[in-house]
Amino acid sequence: MSIRRISLHLAALLVLAALLCACGVTKRQAPGYTLPETGFRAPVSRAVDAEAARRVDEQSMLYVYDPLERLNRRTYNFNAMVDRAVLVPVAVGYQRAVPQTVRTGVSNVISNLNEVPCLANSALQANQNKVNVTLIRLVTNSVLGVGGLFDVATKMGFEREDEDFGQTLGVWGAPNGAYVVLPLYGPSNARDTVGTAGDMVFSYYQMEYLFDAAGVSDHALAGDINTVVRAVDTRANMPFRYYTTDTPFEYDVLRFAYTKARAVQVQQ
């Protein structure tokens, strides 16, 4: 057979193969589009049902009402960056530079100052037992504890009650509302955000009164120092560190833990 004839045969085979492939490509379709219409065939839809997705989400063990989740996650990341860059280094430096006994005294003084809003919220909750315990702690630590420098009341068996305005609102039936991550403050919800604002106003006037009683002339400077000391003390006594929980769902876990913890605090 001549080379010319072999070339013609090969060319013919290639053309035939190309035609067969083309026919196969054009005729192949998804089974869902080729099955005959019968009474047993259910319509196929690839669209996501928003309501079904919501129901699945609500059935999750970690579900918390969080309509602002996208914004909250951004705020969470912002808080993590500030915490790593500023708060944690300052807290670590404070722990290394200041002896433990002094740090304990600072924490005790701050705790004693916080007894006043705690007493007010216990009264607003109409909880006489908490009012009695908080009043005993305030008087005992202020007098025997040298202005709260020493926590004598705890050694006497009077454990601190931790009450805030958010809990007070919860006791009187205010719902949590949407979950919220506050800049710098961290986890909260709509009710507790209002409560935090109320506590801040109360604390402001409380410190203004104390500054007047102590004869402090520059209230603005004294207020700034009070805010910084409280922030450093709080961060130094908080073991939590962002992104160290060994789980990709840290935001979800913290959101769930905060919500459940607040529910328990309101019920107590």
Q: Report, as ranges of residue numbers, the positions in the chain whose pLDDT lies below 50.
A: 1-28, 30-33, 35, 40-42, 44-48, 50, 52-53, 56
pLDDT, one tens digit per residue, over 161-196 is 999 999 999 999 999 999 999 999 999 999 999 999
Q: Give the pLDDT of residue 219.
A: 96
Q: Give the pLDDT of residue 268.
A: 86
141, 151 contact by CB (below 8 A): yes
Q: Give the pLDDT of residue 54.
A: 52
pTM listed for this prediction: 0.76
Q: Give the pLDDT of residue 246.
A: 83
Domain boundaries of the chain, sorted by first residue:
65-97+164-267, 112-161
95, 236 contact by CB (below 8 A): yes
User: In whole angstroms, what is the distance from residue 216 CA to residue 93 CA?
Assistant: 28
Polymer length of the chain? 268
Q: Give the pLDDT of residue 36.
A: 53
Q: Give the pLDDT of residue 48.
A: 43
